[in-house]
Amino acid sequence: MLLAGCADQPGPLSEGPPGATPADGLARIAELTAQRATLAGQLALAEPGAGSGSGSEAGSEAGSGSGSEAAPGSEPGPAPGSEAGSGPGSAPESEAARGPEPGPAAGADARAAAERAGVDPEWAARVLTDQAAAAEQVRDGLLRRWAEQPDTRPAERPDPAQLRSELATVDDELVAALRVAAPARTHEDCPTSLAQAAVARAEGLDDLHRAALGRGLMSVCDGTPD
C-alpha cells in the first residue's frame, strides 16, 4: 500500500468500505479519469460534422459558421434536412451530441451526488469540474486534429446518448471512489501515490489523452508533488 506507514495522518489509511483502502480509491480515480478521457474522445467523434473541415466545431452550435448566413435576396431558414440552429447540411444536433458538459453544470451535479454519498461536496465539485475541463481538452484537440488531418478521423460514429449514459455512470463511480480516497486526500504522500496510479493508467494513451488524464486529477489531492 503506497500510503501506509505515516504516523501523522489523522485517520487510519485503511478507512473505507471493506476490502478497499484510500490508495485503492486513488488508483480507481485515476482509472476512471482515463476512461472518462476516452469517452470524451468518442463523444467528440459523435458530434455532427466532426472533422469535416475548418469551422465545423462552432458551426453546429448556432448556425454561425462561415457561409451559414443567408445570402442577400435568398430565402432565410435552415438547410434542407436540418433543424434551426444546426450547421449547414448537418444532422439535427441533440444535446447528447454537443460535446462534454460545461464545468459549472458538472460542479453542481457533483455537489448533489457528493452530499448523498457523504463526500465533501466542494471537493467533489472541484474534481468533477476538472474532469469536465479535461473532456473539453480532448474534444477540442480531436476536432482540431480531424479538421487539419481528415484522414485521421475514424469513420464510425458512435451513439452519443449511449456515451452520455456511460459518462454518467463513470461520474457516479468517481464520487464513490472519492469517498474511499478521502482519508488520503490531505496525506503528504497523496500526490505521489496518485501520480504513480496515473502513470500506470497512462500506458497506451496518446499525448492528448495523457494530458487530459493529468488535467482531470488536479484537485484530487490537497497538495502537489515536489
Does residue 171 lie within any of the structural domains? yes
Does residue 113 lie within any of the structural domains? yes
- What is the rounded average pLDDT for all residues in the chain? 74
Does residue 198 lie within any of the structural domains? yes
Q: Which is more confident, 50 or 34?
A: 34
Percent of the chain with pLDDT over 90: 57
Tell me the pLDDT band of 113, cut-offs 50, 70 and 90: confident
CATH of the domain at 110: 1.20.59.10
Does residue 59 lie within any of the structural domains? no
Domain count, the chain: 1
Does residue 157 lie within any of the structural domains? yes
Does residue 37 lie within any of the structural domains? yes
| pLDDT, tens only, 152-174 | 999 889 999 999 999 999 999 99
Does residue 107 lie within any of the structural domains? yes
Q: Which is more confident, 49 or 204?
A: 204
| pLDDT, tens only, 51-86 | 554 333 333 333 333 333 434 444 444 433 333 333
Its pTM stands at 0.69
Residue 107's pLDDT is what?
Answer: 63
Residue 50's pLDDT is what?
Answer: 62
Among 43-52, 160-169, 174-183, name the one with the lowest average pLDDT: 43-52
Residue 36's pLDDT is what?
Answer: 96
Residue 223's pLDDT is what?
Answer: 60
Does residue 222 lie within any of the structural domains? no
What is the domain extent for residue 35? Answer: 22-52+94-216
Sign of the Cα torsion 112, 117, 118, 122 reads negative
